């Protein structure tokens, strides 16, 4: 795993160096030639230090991309008194929340017009 990360990091540094060369910003040799003289443990240590530093920078920036939010978490909608589904109406006379189906099921035609309702938010 670490070796594959090292290979990827080396490829990235070579690409960065090549990009700088093409823009005329550097005449140096790529950083990979100096990394080849380092032992594997030194390369891993260097890579770990780099990732730790990047994590510090990320935490200082504290930009919230919403990645920590659980998409499966339900919002707190009021539940229906009868079926525990999402309530659409709140009946003031009954003092209960109902979905459309349960409201029609528990209220006769006259009650549907007489009972004051409001939409649940």
Per-residue pLDDT tens digits for 33-48? 555 567 788 888 888 8
> For residue 121, which of 82, 79, 91, 77 has the smallest C-alpha distance?
77
The yes-or-no verdict on residue 110 having pLDDT over 80 is: yes
Residue 70 pLDDT class (50, 70, 90 cuts): low
Mean pLDDT of 10-21: 76
Instruction: Report pTM.
Output: 0.38
**Would the pLDDT of 30 be above 70?**
no
Give the Cβ contact number of residue 115 at 10 Å: 14
Percent of the chain scored above 70 by pLDDT?
69
Is residue 68 predicted with pLDDT exceeding 60?
no
Q: How far does Cα 99 stand from its chain's mean position?
A: 31
- pLDDT number for residue 52: 84
Per-residue CA distances from 3 to 7, 8, 20, 35, 43 (Å):
6, 9, 26, 13, 9
Residue 31: pLDDT band by 50, 70, 90 thresholds? low
pLDDT of residue 74: 53
Range in 72-86, 88-102, 106-120 with the lowest mean pLDDT: 72-86
């Amino acid at each position: 795993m670490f070796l594959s990360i090292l290979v990827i990091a080396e490829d990235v540094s070579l690409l960065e160096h090549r990009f700088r060369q093409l823009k005329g910003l550097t005449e140096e040799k790529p950083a990979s030639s100096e990394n080849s003289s380092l032992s594997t443990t030194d390369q891993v240590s260097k890579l770990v230090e780099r990732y730790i530093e990047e994590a510090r920078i990320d935490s200082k920036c504290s930009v919230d991309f919403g990645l920590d939010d659980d998409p499966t978490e339900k919002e707190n909608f009021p539940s229906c008194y009868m079926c525990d589904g999402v309530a659409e109406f709140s009946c003031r006379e009954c003092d209960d929340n109902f979905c459309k189906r349960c409201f029609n099921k528990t209220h006769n035609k006259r009650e549907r017009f007489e009972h004051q309702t409001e939409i649940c938010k």
